[in-house]
Chain A
């Protein structure tokens, strides 16, 4: 019995690892579909709408990559993952890219053998409490019960924050955002903590969002970005430069409205190189000339995607803040297309 189980595990591990070893780009092209890991439902970032169609800020990255590689932004198979299952799903080859508001950390990059291709949202961990508690600072949370998604960096930040401030708390580990919401709204926990963007997104779905406040403390740096498996640099390059194309497109004023116009040729060589009217950037990536054009057409440039999914005119209502272009004092900065 013991042996059977042991070999069973090795089989699974062996098969999973076997799947991971081949070239991801060829796999995706052969399959005709991009397998993209997303969250189990976080409004604004990745959530299915009433028709079961996935949409959101992270989903837009998946769609752009699918458009660049396969020419069809809808050729994506969305795989919902929890904080716990996402890395196993990526490492085992079940998904090609993970776009699930995942924090770029040293150990995930180096030790877990993943490759973060960039940052699509600069975030930080915050706390949400009901207004009725009368709390105005996270340091007043001594003895509070805190709902926390397990398997996340926020879990570690939380432990560090309370330890550093020498206050006690009771963690309630939870698998998904939906469960956390249920427990928080029922008062089974006083506080819900996750990335500030996630808090805003969650609060947007509440019946009375005004009854809840997000505390001013941001206790961590959470650069969120898409990631791929380590060791397949070609595929990593494709995802990285697709993301960069979206960011650069906003910087150069390429929008889904004027992209057809601009792709006929402009005076700006950088735009020409990006959109394929000049140079061979697409071929260097192993794609065709118009890859970036398709990626940008899929959902618009970075700014358009932001405004459509999580911007100030959406229920989530996030300001650009750190995520503005570098030219506007933010951190969004794409390396040159040259």
Chain B
């Protein structure tokens, strides 16, 4: 009878770090890590030494200095006497505005185009193909500049609206003006306004919140909640009795009536744009830089989203469509209730990348003079203070935070739509 003895315990030798497969991968990782850290240390050291040679120090003190420049599109109050920090904040809000508008528009257009590209209508499907290929294969910067150039060259200047023989006129009963400086639309005004709440006093981060808006949102939210309750009740009654009570007028009523009452109580009226002096005043001014950037980014990204949506829909087996049709669902409902919910599982992860792309591409804003965070912090502030390293590092950190937030929200959404395994 043979006994299996343990193999003689090998003594550890240095060469085993390379030749022994148990240790090899650890060795390689440690060496790579050390090399990486050395490289990093050399870079930091080199940067620090050269900064010292140039007599520059890393210093964020410039944030407290007055910015001394004006910004045209500002969501919060800002004058040239405010600090660089506030200018950066105004720029950040402008970035967020175009990112949010862009993502929403790109999604709407992208889903529509993606679905239509699968249409059996030959003309519609081909038109959508042309759209996708045109926008996907031309750099977004060119689209931005192109749309801006079209707006500047084709739309009338405000001076064309002036005088007795004006060559241009306002649209929709004199409420909307399309000019080559942007589009002026009516704004919401309240004659019995509740006022604002001020936050952070007079610091650089101060902002106001309109109580009118809060009141409006609360009333609207309550109305929607009540409407939802009515729907639930109708559902229950339908399950119990088989008859669904007609509730649509009730549901519309609980949403609209309180809102209208609130608006009347606050003295809601529209402020119309009016030609005064050099420009239109009053109303809301959507600057051509915002429109060009928003449109170009949306249409460009929508082309990619359309392809993602198409891929998502094609990934769902044809049997699903046929089964749904066999149950008697109409094509629109088949898409909305059966195909799209399943396709979302395929669509959402690549969609996140497109949102990130759109947000980062918004830094091309300077091409049309849109003052986003790259234009304020990474542009004028950097130029006037000469703090390149600080500004660029901070800028990267800000974009990183924005991108991670978008990813976080979208990953959460992805969790909620993905296949639930029980």
Contacts and interface: CB of A to CB of B under 8 A. Distances in A.
Contact of B44 (A10, A150, A231): A10
A21 B380 CA distance: 26
A174 B365 CA distance: 11
Interface stretch (B129-137, B191-199, B382-390): B382-390
A160 B379 contact: no
Interface in A174-207: 174-175, 182-183, 186-190
B47 A159 contact: no
Interface string A245-260: 0000000000000000
B68 A170 contact: no
Contact of A143 (B46, B160, B278, B400): B278
A187 B181 CA distance: 8
Interface string B368-386: 0101000100011001111
Contact of A231 (B40, B54, B276, B277): B54
B381 to A, nearest CB: 10
Nearest to B386: A112
A88 B385 CA distance: 12
A160 B81 CA distance: 9
B414 interface: no
Given A5-B396, A171-B72, A175-B366, A144 B386 contact: no
A159 B383 contact: no
A193 B246 CA distance: 65
Contacts of B76: none
A235 B77 CA distance: 46
Given A171-B71, A175-B366, A14 B383 contact: no
A187 B384 CA distance: 29
Contacts of A88: 388
Interface string A4-45: 011101110110011011000000000000000000000000
A156 B68 contact: yes
Nearest to A153: B384
B153 interface: yes
Interface residues of B, number: 53
A174 B68 contact: no
Contacts of A186: 152-153, 157, 180
Contacts of B278: 133, 141-145, 190
A151 B379 contact: yes
Interface string B382-415: 0111101100110010001000000000000000
B43 A170 contact: no
B43 A14 contact: yes
A321 interface: no
Interface string B35-55: 000011001101100110111
Given A17-B50, A151-B379, A231-B54, A142 B277 contact: yes
B46 A14 contact: yes
Contacts of A304: none
A159 B153 CA distance: 27
B279 interface: yes
Contacts of B385: 107, 111
B181 A159 contact: no
A124 interface: no
A288 B49 CA distance: 34
A188 B152 contact: yes
Contacts of A77: none
A169 B400 CA distance: 34
A230 interface: yes
Nearest to B276: A143
A87 interface: yes
Interface of A: 1-2, 5-7, 9-11, 13-14, 17-18, 20-21, 83-84, 87-88, 91, 107-108, 111-113, 132-133, 141-145, 150-151, 155-156, 158-160, 162-163, 169-175, 182-183, 186-190, 229-231
Pick the 5 closest A-B CB pairs, nearest first.
A17-B50, A187-B157, A112-B386, A159-B80, A14-B46
29 contacts: A2-B400, A6-B396, A7-B43, A9-B392, A10-B44, A10-B47, A14-B50, A20-B53, A84-B383, A87-B386, A91-B388, A107-B385, A107-B386, A141-B278, A143-B276, A144-B279, A150-B380, A155-B380, A159-B80, A170-B72, A170-B279, A173-B369, A173-B371, A174-B369, A187-B157, A187-B158, A187-B159, A187-B160, A231-B53
